[in-house]
Structures are given as structure tokens and as C-alpha cells.
Amino acid sequence: MGVVQGDQMVLNIGPQHPSTHGVLRLKVWTDGEIVSEIKPYIGYLHRCFEKHSENVTYEQVIPFTDRCDYIASMNNNFGYVVTMEELMEIKVPERVEYIRVIMAELNRIASHLLALGVYGLDVGAFTPFLYMFRDRERILDIFELTCGARLLYNYMWVGGVSHDLPKDFERICIGFLDYFEPKIKEYNDLLTHNKIFLERTADVGVLPPDVAINFGVSGPNLRGSGVNWDVRKDEPYSIYDRFEFEIPLGEGEFGTVGDSFDRYWVRMCEMKESIKIIRQAIKDLPDGDVFQTIPKKIRPPKGSIYRRTESPRGDLGYYIISDGSPIPYRVKMRSPAFTALSSLGEIAQGWMLSDVIAILGSLDIVLGEIDR
């Protein structure tokens, strides 16, 4: 039956809107409820990260990387620090590697908890958001115990970490993991298998694999479309090759592969994998001094390097060019949410207004990282 072509209405899902995950403006051409075209406008949170990093020394860039993706700051630091150590050929002691993996995976769970909770909010369920934030607070307590900060840590330094682990960190961390594992089952019962939730997310905003690769989408969004790509497995950095964990892919149980439900489901399974990694890391956590290889004065050799790491939102790449002085010549951050948002215009066409909000939620973007 022919679709009735009414006249178009331009709608601004404006910079100030309850569900744009930050300051983002979507210019939407709608015909009734059906959306015919979307143009995202970004740049409202642009704080010139790259210009700043050309005026501060190498260790002073780390607080700025924290503030790009403020939900997964540990992984931002991790990316920057791994790239710098590869540039300067620093070999960090074992204990630092294990601490970094534990912190990065804890931060991945915290970031996924926020992503899934806010996704439930976008689809209309209030309670899962509060359950997930209650558990996220427990992780933030652990971070506060080690480095004093709850959201922006400046914890990982080039060549080491800023603080050693507190007294009985193993007991506390294992305590959290045992507390948290049954909670995932509770989220699944409450939200994932809920028929209304499935109705709202299955078959919505389908991102086919080739379009995903063409749009440079990465991380859980790409794995939701069934592409087996995880930087921790395919370009292993730090000591990720010592742990065995699977990579969850979207199989399209309740709809086609690559729909919003798959992206949601991949994030839920990734939390289980992260718990496995942390358990293995804590089991064989060596002792040692963490401040040993922190260089007093960072003067990397002349040259450039591009290195990718797996942040909860995808491939977080750092392109660092140094000219031998203690001030970086150029630091470029390739942000995964930037490419995920660029694909929104493609996959949200033809859906209804409330689906656009659901698809935006399933892409899990953070505007701090997009605008840098």
C-alpha cells in the first residue's frame, strides 16, 4: 500500500534534549512520525584537546585524555600510555601490566553499565537504570580506593601507574565480582527478555556488516553486526594475549543480525567476559615496584606512531608525532563514537521518531569523545 506523502516537518532534536547522551543536535526531516533524513550537528563540546596537547608536556596530556571519553577514562589513559610506551620502547614491570588490565576491564564494566542503563531509559524503563547505577557506584568506590578519583583518574602514567594497589585490594575486587555476577541475570530477567523491550529493539536500526566496516564503526557496534573484530584479540597490546576470553557476536536471536538488540546483547555478554579477565588477572597478580620505569623527564625520540586499543566504545586510536622535545608535536585521537555517530544518518532513516532515540541509545555515543 502506498505510503501517504505528507509535507515534511523539520524537527530539531536540539542540543538541550533529555536523551542525546551529551550535547548533540539532530536535525530531523520527519513526515508525520516517519523520519526521512537525519543530520547530526556536533561541536558543542569541542575543547580543543589536540591544540592543548601541543602546549603541554607529555605527562600533562593524560588529564586531558581523561576528559575525552569521561565514562571510560581508564581506557583512554591506557590507549595513550600504550602508544607512548611503544614510541619510547619502555618495558613496564609485570605488576603494572596486570594492574592496568584490571583497571581497564573494571572501567569497561562501569561504562557498559552506564550504556545499558541509559539505553533502558531511552526505551522507557526507569528501574534497570537505577539498578545498574547502584552497581556502577561499587566500581567507582574501588577506583576511589586506589587513585582517589571516581570519574577522571589520571591513574595510568607513561611507564607505570600513579598509585600502587591499596592494602587488601584482591579481597575487595573479588568481593565485588561475586556480588555483581548474579546481578547480570537480574538485568536480563528485568529488561532483556521483556517482550516490550524486545518489541522496541529487535529489528530496529539494522547495521549490516559491510556498511558497518565502510562507516569505520568499531567495538560493540561492529561486533553486534557479526564482524569478529576486537583489538584485544587481533592486535594484542599489553598482556591481553595471556587471558582467554571469548568475543561475543550478535547472532540476531530476536531479529536480523546487527539490530539494536544485538548491540545491547553484545555489551551485556562483554561484561561477563570482562569479569572472567579480571578474575584471571587477580589470580596471578605479581608483586613489584610500580614506580620503577616512570621516566623523570619524558623526551621521546623523533618519529610518529599510530596505535589502537579497545575502549568500551570501540577502536580508540592515538596518532602521536614527537620532534624530540618534551612537548608533543601533534596528538590526534581517533574516537570510536565519532564514526558510530556518522553512521546514524544511514541506519536511522525510515524509522519512527521514538526509534531514532532508541538507535542513538544503542550506538552508545559519548559527546566528550566525539567533539574532543
Partner 1 sequence: MKKYFANIWGTITTLKTGMGITWRHMMNIKKDNVTLQYPEERWPRPERDIGFEHEDYNVIRSRLHVDIDDCIGCLKCERACPVDCIKIDTIKAPTRGEDIPNIGHTGVTENGTNKALVVSRFTIDMSECCYCNLCVYPCPEECIYMVGGPNSPKHPIDYEFSEFDRKDLIYEFSKPLTSEQKSELMNPKPDAEA
Partner 2 sequence: MTPTEIKETLDREFPGSVIDNEELAESQIELKPDQWLEIATYLKNDPGLNFDQLECVTGIDTGEDGPLQSRYNFHSMEHRHKIEVVISLDRNNPKVASIEQVWRVGDWFERETYDMFGIIYEGHRDLRRILCPEDWEGWPLRKDYEAQETYHGIVVPKIKEEEWE
Partner 3 sequence: MTVDNLMNWFAELGDFPELAFILAVLICAVPVFLFIAIYALVAIYGELKISSFMQDKVGPMGQGVGLHAGKWGLLQPVADALKLILKEDIIPASADKKLFILAPFIVFIGAFIAFAALPFNQNLIIADMNIGIFYILAVSSLGVIGLIMAGWSSNNKWSLYGAMRSAAQIVSYEIPAALSIIAVIMLTGTLSMQGIIQHQSGFVWGILPNWIIFQNPFTFAAFFIFFVSGVAECNRTPFDIPEAESELVAGAFTEYSGMRYAFFFLSEYANMFIVSGIAVTAFLGGWQSPIPGILNSPGWGLWWFMSKAMFLIFVMIWFRWTFPRLRVDQLMNVCWKGFTPIAMVNIFGVGIWHLMLG
Q: Of 144, 234, 253, 323, which one interacts with partner 1 (CB under 8 A)?
A: 144
Q: Closest CB to partner 1 among 64 and 229?
A: 64
Binding residue for partner 1 (CB under 8 A) from 145, 177, 305, 352?
A: 145
Are 40 and 370 in contact by the 8 Å Cβ rule? The answer is: no
Segment (H or E) for 267? helix 260-283
Which residues have CB under 8 Å from 246's CB, separation 6+?
273
What are the CB-based long-range contacts (under 8 Å, 24+) for 39-47? 39/345, 40/341, 40/342, 40/344, 40/345, 42/341, 42/367, 42/370, 42/371, 43/371, 44/15, 44/367, 44/371, 45/367, 45/368, 45/370, 45/371, 46/371, 46/372, 47/371, 47/372
127 versus 354: smaller Cβ distance to partner 1: 127
Q: How far is the CB of 332 from partner 2 (least distance, A)?
A: 5
Is position 50 an interface residue for partner 2 (rule: CB under 8 A)? yes
Per the document, the length of the chain is: 372
Among 17, 27, 46, 163, binds partner 1 (CB under 8 A): 163
How far is residue 355's CA from residue 202's CA, in Å, rounded to a whole number?
11
Closest CB 51 distance from partner 2, rounded Å: 6
Taking CB under 8 A as the rule, does residue 78 contact partner 2? no
Question: Residue 152 binds which one of partner 3, partner 1, partner 2, none, with CB within 5 to 8 A depending on kind?
Answer: partner 1
Residue ranges binding partner 3 (CB under 8 A): 9, 11, 17-19, 33, 120-127, 130-131, 134, 190-191, 194, 196-197, 199-200, 352-355, 357
Which residue, 286 or 303, is less far from partner 2 as judged by CB? 303
Q: What's the DSSP call for residue 261?
A: H
Binding partner of 353, given partner 2, partner 3, partner 1, none, CB within 5-8 angstroms per partner class: partner 3
Q: What is the dihedral of CA 347, 352, 354, 360, to 10 degrees?
A: 10
325 binds partner 2 (CB under 8 A): no
Q: Counting Cβ atoms within 10 Å, is residue 190 exposed (0-12), middle (13-18) or buried (19+)?
A: middle
Q: What is the 3-state secondary structure (H, E, C) of 209-245?
A: HHHHHHCCCCCHHHHHCCCCCCHHHHCCCCCHHHCCC
> For partner 1, which residue of 34, 90, 140, 149 counts as binding (CB under 8 A)?
149
Binding of residue 297 to partner 1 (CB under 8 A): no
Nearest CB to partner 2, comparing residues 172 and 305: 305
Q: What's the rounded Cα separation, in Å, for the pair 108 and 275?
A: 10
Contacts to partner 1 from residues 209-268, by CB under 8 A: none
Question: Please, what is the minimum distance in Å from the beta carbon of residue 275 to partner 2?
Answer: 28
Which residues contact partner 1 by CB under 8 A?
56, 59-64, 66-67, 127, 131, 134, 137-138, 141-142, 144-149, 152, 154, 162-164, 166-168, 172, 175-176, 179, 186, 189-191, 193-196
